[in-house]
Amino acid sequence: MPANKQFLLDSRPKGEASASNFRMVTSETPPLKDGEVLVRHHYLSLDPYMRGRMDEARSYATPQPLGEVMIGGTVGEVVESRSPKFRAGDKVVGMGGWQEYSVVATDQPGTLRKVDTTHVPISHYLGAVGMPGVTAWYGLMKIIEPKAGQTIAVSAASGAVGSALGTLAKTHGCRAVGIAGGPEKCRYVTEELGFDACVDYKQHGDALSLSKALKEACPNGIDGYFENVGGMVMDAVMLRMNDFGRMAVCGMIAGYDGKPVPMSYPQVILRSRLKVQGFIVSEHPEVWQQALLELGALVGTGKLRPRESVAQGLESAPEAFLGMLKGRNFGKQLVKLA
């Protein structure tokens, strides 16, 4: 069995996360038992939710235990199988974590899923046709409930979730408006993804200035908003929400360093009779099949063209993760392992 490089969570962050919170080790991969498969990971997914798992504070999920392999989605190939459900050569997606190989017991539902790479590149099963894409689908279809002609806005619009959200909104007849950081990301959002407009939040020092720019981009107000960021961006959008608007709250990356994220205009929720709902996509397995079918078709036909930032080698994972938390990535952040 092959030697396996792994990153463990070595300590909990105090404020911002740092590379010193992780420790690399090399371990021997255990021999397979009946019902198990050995997977060689090709790509590791880096996602904002991982920062919350690093803390011991109360959250929607159990904290990442110290001294164990850091959690993370992976895609790869079965290289050895003692399970009738899989054979060597199968391409699979699972939660293999920050390591080069994983041994997976296939009798546990949902641990490993075969994927077809004929029309969809394998890496996209960690992004547009994976958890981030389903996150966008659920927030849009089940919380925002789009109607043709409405204006749908999303923060972090050039990222894995935001890009899928805007593309889905357009396919359902809506006007899509993104919020992203920097002119290059905004050009991608409008020119490659087909959003109707994109506002560069880095050009604005406060919520009122950003909200004024959003008024120009959304002259008829905002009917639905997908929140990834919080802070100033959320404040600016709140001031542009139409009556009976819907807000799907998915992420609060502005607060992932442990600091509070104040809300400046909570009165708008009452005044405009807004629906504000947080959600965790892993709690809704009933929608995954439908969502993945729609997302796969969008990617396969070229209607959704997701970007990827790819770091090389497991050793690069901590710095790529920290950069992603600060918005240095462009699109889905991955680590190429094979």
The three-state DSSP-derived secondary structure of 280-293 is: CHHHCHHHHHHHHH
Q: Determine what percent of the chain is predicted with pLDDT higher than 70.
A: 99
Are 8 and 54 part of one and the same domain? yes
Are 192 and 169 part of one and the same domain? yes
Kindly report, residue by residue over 187-206, the tens digit of the pLDDT: 999 999 999 999 999 999 99
**Distance, CA of 65 to CA of 12 (rounded, Å):** 10
Are 70 and 43 part of one and the same domain? yes
In a domain, 296, yes or no: no
Q: What percent helix, strand, coil does the chain show, rounded to 5?
A: 35, 25, 40
Are 221 and 121 part of one and the same domain? no
CA-CA-CA-CA torsion sign (254, 158, 288, 334) = negative
Low-confidence ranges of the chain (pLDDT < 70): 255-258
The helix (H) or strand (E) run that includes residue 80 is: strand 74-81
Position 258 scores a pLDDT of 67
Q: Which two tokens stand for residue 281?
A: 């996509």
Are 321 and 231 part of one and the same domain? no
In a domain, 326, yes or no: yes
CB atoms within 10 A of CB 169: 26
Are 94 and 136 part of one and the same domain? no
Are 117 and 174 part of one and the same domain? no
Our count of domains for the chain comes to: 2
Type of residue found at 41: H
Position 259 scores a pLDDT of 74
Kindly report, residue by residue over 279-330, the tens digit of the pLDDT: 999 899 999 999 999 999 999 999 998 999 999 999 999 999 999 998 889 9
Cβ within 8 Å of residue 37, ≥6 positions away: 78, 80, 81, 82, 83, 86, 103, 104, 106, 112
Query: 172 is in which domain, residue-wise?
Result: 131-282
Are 83 and 136 part of one and the same domain? no
Are 153 and 94 part of one and the same domain? no
CATH code of the domain in which 142 resides: 3.40.50.720
In a domain, 287, yes or no: no
